[in-house]
Amino acid sequence: MAQEASSSTSSKTISLKTGDGEIFEIEASAAKQMKTVQRLIDDLGDDITIPLHNVFSKELPKIIEYYKKDITGEITKDFEAEFVKDLNDDEVKVLFLAANYLDANKLFEFLSQNIADRLESKSVEYVRKYFGVENDFTPEEESKLREERAWSFRGIKEDE
């Protein structure tokens, strides 16, 4: 496990390989922000291409874009708003899962907030679909719950 002592880690780049076989470069300092990547670097060395089985070429560039801004301290509310502006709910979900897998804390926090914002006032059915939740309540159980918690359904849209 030969590890080169690099005099300037800031200019070193790491190669990442997505689950669908594409390779992307990222600065070592940005890689540090993704704990999963850093762990893999620690285990495998920083000279080989790091395999990321659960991240794909569709979302990795976006993640790299985010951390490129992060290492220069340029992440602002405007940047974050712009970052998610053109993404639909499913695209955000995919990014979120990637951020979770990569243990990329800052992005994970930001996307958690964004998902919550998108789900606000959506119907129960929408949220179920979004999270892939199987409804295992019987109709009787469900209506009893709705009755008990009637106060919490104000403002939530009903599906259909």
Partner 1 sequence: MSSQRSIPTEDRISTLPDSVISHILSFLPTEQSAATSILSKRWNPLWLSVLTLNFDEQNFADFATFRHFVYSVMLLRNITLPIQSFRLKCGKSSDFNPHDVNRFIHAVVQRGIQNLNLYLLTPWIRCFKLPQCVLTCNSLTVLKLKWLTMDDFSKVNFPLLKTLHLANISFSKPIYLKRFLHGCPVLEDLQIQNVWLSGYKCGELKGLPKMVKANIDIQGWAFPFAWVRNAKFLCAKLYRPYDCQVPVFHNLTHMKIVFGWTVNALIRWKWIGKWTWMTEVLQNCPKLQNLTIHQHFNNTSTHGKFIFDEIVNEDWVDPPIVPKCLSSELGTCSLIAYEGLKCEFQFAKYILKNAKALHTMKISASEVDLNIKHQMLMKLSLCPRGSTVCKLSFD
138 binds partner 1 (CB under 8 A): no
Among 36, 80, 97, 106, binds partner 1 (CB under 8 A): 97
Q: For 155, left (φ over 0), alpha (ψ -120 to 50), or beta?
A: left
Touching partner 1, residues 28-67 (CB under 8 A): 51, 53-54, 56
Shortest Å, Cβ 29 to partner 1 = 21
Neighbouring-strand partners of residue 24: 16
Number of residues that bind partner 1 (CB under 8 A): 40
Q: Which stretch binds partner 1 (CB under 8 A): 3-11, 24-32, 80-88, 147-155?
A: 147-155
In the complex with partner 1, the residue whose CB is nearer, 19 or 61, is 19
137 binds partner 1 (CB under 8 A): yes
Q: Which stretch binds partner 1 (CB under 8 A): 3-11, 25-33, 77-85, 151-159?
A: 151-159
Among 86, 149, 158, 160, binds partner 1 (CB under 8 A): 149
Burial label for 30, CB within 10 Å (0-12, 13-18, 19+), is buried
Name every residue whose Cβ is closer than 8 Å to that of residue 17 and which is 6 or more positions away in sequence: 23, 49, 50, 51, 52
Q: What is the pairing mode between strands 23-27 and 13-18?
A: antiparallel
Helical segments of 72-104, H only: 77-85, 89-102
